[in-house]
Structure 1
Amino acid sequence: MEACTSLLSFGLSSNGLSTLEKLYGKPVTLADRETVEEKADQILSAAAASNVAFLVAGDPFGATTHSDLVVRANKLGIYFNVVHNSSVMNAVGICGLQLYHYGETVSIPFFTETWRPDSFYDKIRNNRGLGLHTLCLLDIRVKEPTLESLCSGRKQYEQPRHMSINTAIEQLLEVEDNRGESAYDEDTVYWVCSAGK
Structure 2
Amino acid sequence: MLYLVGLGLSDETDITVKGLEIVKKASRVYLEAYTSILLVDQSILESYYGRSIIVADRETVEFDSNDPSESNELLRYAATEDVALLVVGDPFGATTHADLVLRARHLGIPVSTVPNASIMSGIGACGLQLYNFGQTVSMVFFTDNWRPASFYDRVRENRQIGLHTLLLLDIKVKEQTIENMMRGNKVFEPPRYMTVGQCARQMLEIEEEKGEGVYGPDSLAIGAARVGGRNEKFVAGTLKELCDSDDALGPPLHSMVLLGRRAHELERDFARGFAVDKETWDTLWARDYGKQDAPAAPQTDDNAEEKEDAKVQASL
The answer to whether the superposition gives a TM-score over 0.5 is yes
Q: Which one of 23, 28, 40 corresponds to residue 48 of structure 2?
A: 23
Paired with 1:111 and 1:30, the residues of 2 have a C-alpha distance of 28
Structure 1 residue 22 displacement after superposition: 2.7
Structure 1 residue 162 displacement after superposition: 1.0
Matched, 1:4 2:37: no
Q: 1:75 to 1:150 in 2, by over 3 A?
A: closer
Matched, 1:34 2:64: no
Deviations 1:119-139 (A, max 9, x none): 111111111011111110000
Which residue pairs with 2:163 in the alignment?
132
Which residue pairs with 1:69 in the alignment?
100
Deviations 1:35-65 (A, max 9, x none): 1113342211201111110001100000011
Q: Which one of 100, 112, 118 corresponds to residue 143 of structure 2?
A: 112
Paired with 1:163 and 1:26, the residues of 2 have a C-alpha distance of 31
Higher mean Cα deviation, 187-196 or 174-183? Answer: 187-196
Which residue pairs with 1:13 in the alignment?
none
Deviations 1:133-170 (A, max 9, x none): 11100001011112331233212111112101110011
Which residue pairs with 2:201 in the alignment?
170
Structure 1 residue 9 displacement after superposition: 1.9
Unaligned regions of 5+ residues in structure 1, if any? 11-15
Paired with 1:176 and 1:72, the residues of 2 have a C-alpha distance of 39
Paired with 1:185 and 1:67, the residues of 2 have a C-alpha distance of 35
Matched, 1:86 2:117: yes
**RMSD, aligned CA:** 1.5
Matched, 1:95 2:126: yes
Structure with greater strand share of residues: 2
Deviations 1:8-31 (A, max 9, x none): 323xxxxx3333333223321111
Helix, strand or coil at the partner of 2:138: strand
**Aligned letter for 1:133?**
H
| Contact map agreement 2:133 2:163 (CA 8 A) in 1 | yes
Structure 1 residue 193 displacement after superposition: 1.8
Which residue pairs with 1:51 in the alignment?
82
Identity of aligned residues (%): 51
- Residues matched between the structures, number: 192
Paired with 1:84 and 1:115, the residues of 2 have a C-alpha distance of 35
Unaligned regions of 5+ residues in structure 2, if any? 1-30, 65-69, 227-249, 252-316
Q: Which has the larger radius of gyration?
A: 2
Which residue pairs with 2:222 in the alignment?
191
